[in-house]
Amino acid sequence: MMDLTMLRQFVVVARLEHLSRAADELHVAQPSLSRTIARLESELGTPLFDRANRLRLNPAGLLFRGYAERALGELDAGRRAVAEATEQGAGNVRLAAETFLALTEPIAAFKRDHPAIEIELRQLSALDMPRRLRAQDVDFCVASQPIPAAGLESAVLLDEPVLVATPLDHPFAARKSLEVEDLADQPFVIARKGQWQRWLLDRLFAGTGLTPRIVCESDEAAAIQELIRAGLGIGFNPDFARRTVPDYPVAMIPVDHPDCRRTLTLHWSADAEPSTAARLMRTAITAWPWAAASE
């Protein structure tokens, strides 16, 4: 019979599409996890994964994952609501973002104002955010690029220019502004596909007939900055970075293009009933003086 443990294990395997990594995350033996998935498929009467070359969700698995995530999300929301109603604690709030650099100060201020509220932070790609919000796996997501809005509500926190970052001795460092065409032959140190900087790079070059020259892709923001500083290539920095790290030894030059911007946006599920803790965090983040912080 299907139970919560079976559903939770399926959701992790579905997310990772890898049995051994899922077993490590769940702290169970891989053979046991394989048997659990096999029992679930037997109960549903159909395979949920393709196993030809590597483990991948098939259409039935994709369909069932949505229901399983929503069911688990509703149960978790119910537990949190009961705990809040019976005063078993101040509650918790779950916030996900592509990067937390711009969120450090508002989160710290919220924690000072509400020390009893537990904050769970999760790093997610923008591609995962809509599904995780609709499944109530997280309360809020902050994205720096557009995400599908179906079933979601949102509030824009900050709209700002994005600058080209170069080593201090780069020929661009003395320029007042740049055109997209100026960037065509430059080596880029950039985030991987799915991250907002890479999305922006692809967007800027779309329709120009030019292809960006990428020499390094990385998920580590600090490593990208160090590689730019060291002269391996150029990259992108939001204007916000000039305030957070004002003395970092790179030059930052504006791009003369209306789309060379990022919009930091807070998203939440339109169908979820927010807890008191979630309502307090939403108010705190949307009321934060974002425009003043970026000056």
pLDDT digits (tens, 9 = 90+) for 172-198: 999 999 999 999 999 999 999 989 999
Contact predicate 234/197, CB 8 Å: no
| pLDDT of 90 strictly over 70 | no
**Residue 79's pLDDT band (cuts 50, 70, 90):** confident
Which of the residue ranges 9-13, 166-170, 173-177 would you say has the lowest mean pLDDT? 9-13
Would you give the distance in Å from CA 103 to the centre of its chain?
Answer: 12
Summarize pLDDT for 99-125 with one digit per residue, the tens.
898 899 999 999 999 998 999 999 999
Contact predicate 284/109, CB 8 Å: yes
Q: What is the DSSP letter of 234?
A: B
Tell me the C-alpha distance between 147 and 71, whole Å.
23
Tell me the C-alpha distance between 99 and 125, whole Å.
9
* Dihedral angle sign, alpha carbons of residues 94, 97, 103, 108: positive
| Element holding 119 (H helix, E strand) | strand 118-123
Tell me the C-alpha distance between 45 and 42, whole Å.
5
Would you give the distance in Å from CA 140 to the centre of its chain?
Answer: 11
Beta strands at 56-57 and 49-50: parallel, antiparallel or unpaired: antiparallel
